Structure 1
């Protein structure tokens, strides 16, 4: 009988820049897909998550999941402001930023 308990490694930080971008974009794509009920966006989100999974070790998944959620929340907030703001200029800025975020995320997957 061993008196030594197994050592558990601390979760790895989300420190890979490319993986961070994949995680954040997966969240942004998720928010857009949910907002527009768009199957193509859901497929792009899934592809982004698959790329992310190929880059990271399983122990790092919780840290990247936090980034994915942050991306989802950030994009959802932009979509809400673009739709519900009483200030037309603020709504336009939020809509433009949300669209730019999607352009960048799509560019990662589709090459531009």
Structure 2
């Protein structure tokens, strides 16, 4: 079995237990691709290493495009973009919020969301 097919099978098995009943896999993968894109770009902007974030994002995008979508492509892209902007907002609050408690809450939430997505991609 090729590496990509192995990743798809592992992600599908993992996602089957984490996706909400009846939720299309492309929705889960689109949200994660958006979050991972925001994380990668935030790292670039903050001058942090982004190679691992970029590799995970690329793997998630490959998984997303390996699926037979039940939703229209423009809807999947819309979900990906919305998730990217939402996650970028969390990362901005975590980095720049004047209230330390708000910054900590945003950082924890961003970390939880990314951890969920990272768990779907085994590299």
Q: Which moved more, 1:43-52 or 1:20-29?
A: 43-52
Which of 72, 88, 105 pairs up with 1:76?
A: 88
Q: Which has the larger radius of gyration?
A: 1
Runs of at least 4 residues off by over 6 Å:
none
Separation in structure 2 between the aligned mates of residue 87 and residue 105 of structure 1, nearest angstrom:
27
TM-score, length of structure 2 as denominator length? 0.71
Once residues 113 and 51 of structure 2 are traced to their aligned partners in structure 1, the CA distance between those partners, rounded to angstroms, is 18
Question: Does the 8 Å contact 2:38/2:88 carry over to 1?
Answer: yes
SS at match of 1:109: coil
Residue-pair matches, total = 97
Per-residue CA deviations over 1:79-112 (Å, capped at 9, x if unaligned) read: 111111111111100000001111101001129x
Q: Match of 2:35?
A: 28
Q: Once the 2 structures are TM-superposed, how far is the Cα of residue 67 of structure 1 from its aligned partner? A: 0.7
Shift of residue 26 of structure 1? 0.2
Q: Once superposed, what is the RMSD of the aligned Cα atoms?
A: 2.0
Contact 2:97/2:103 (CA < 8 Å) preserved in 1?
A: yes
Per-residue deviation, 1:60: 2.4
Paired residues for 1:9-48 under 5 Å: 16-37=23-44, 38-48=50-60
Is residue 51 of structure 1 aligned with residue 76 of structure 2?
no
Query: Gapped runs of 5+ residues in structure 2?
Result: 1-21, 45-49
Q: TM-score, normalised by structure 1?
A: 0.78
Aligned-pair CA distance for 1:17: 2.7
